[in-house]
Chains A and B, each alone.
Chain A
């Protein structure tokens, strides 16, 4: 079955950087777009960024554009999120999520990794 395991979260000062990773298994990783979605403490879900199955297209929420960078290594079935210039409002649980083919939504999620700024 699909498994997504995030890592790399932690506590960082404002202006600092973190690199999150998501290890994927149980499906053909190189065939699916992948996302990062975050959830601030006690708040709702916020989409952050998407990368196409081959890494060719990337999209970002305006709130993170120019500071966060998504990438993937299909040879290692791994998704990454480089987060720079972190702000207190970036504090959240960060989930990686698998795109549902043809439906522009998310059909599998990891358990999340916490980031505190």
Chain B
């Protein structure tokens, strides 16, 4: 099955840039989507198709995808960005058609 690997945690100071990585075999050939989930809340799509943003998502959220790594970048980090972030792809090779990464806790210092 296809595995997406994320770091468990990322810490960043307010105003700085946070980068959350998502590793997968030749992930650059897939379309990657990113979710933000705050405690007790449902996930929210923040980036889709590698680098597009749904309406209402700040421009501070951006994505990239190449080779074996996709990256979610949060610029000018704010306290309200503290959350868990999950990457997701669609894959037909394993037992889950829709595969999620293990999640990364972004902590704003």
Classify chain A: how many residues form its interface, as a range: 20 to 34
With a cutoff of 8 Å between Cβ atoms, the chain B residues found around residue A59 in the complex are: 97
Q: Is A35 an interface residue (CB 8 A)?
A: yes
With a cutoff of 8 Å between Cβ atoms, the chain A residues found around residue B61 in the complex are: none
Taking a contact as CB atoms under 8 Å apart, the answer to whether A45 and B103 are in contact is yes
Taking a contact as CB atoms under 8 Å apart, the answer to whether B43 and A100 are in contact is no
Taking a contact as CB atoms under 8 Å apart, the answer to whether A105 and B88 are in contact is yes
Q: Is A111 an interface residue (CB 8 A)?
A: yes
- Select one of A45, A50, A61, A62 contacting B43, CB under 8 A: A45
Q: How far is the CB of A16 from chain B (nearest CB, A)?
A: 24
With a cutoff of 8 Å between Cβ atoms, the chain A residues found around residue B86 in the complex are: 44-45
B32 to chain A: closest residue by CB: A105
Chain B 37-63, CB-CB to A under 8 Å as 1, else 0, gives: 100011111001100001000000000
CA of A15 to CA of B99 in the docked complex: distance in angstroms? Answer: 27
Taking a contact as CB atoms under 8 Å apart, the answer to whether B99 and A47 are in contact is yes
B95 to chain A: closest residue by CB: A62
Question: Residues of A at under 8 Å CB distance from B?
Answer: 35, 37, 44-47, 50, 59, 61-63, 95, 100, 103-107, 109-112
Given contacts A45-B37, A109-B43, 5 further A-B contacts (CB under 8 A): A44-B86, A44-B102, A44-B103, A105-B98, A109-B42
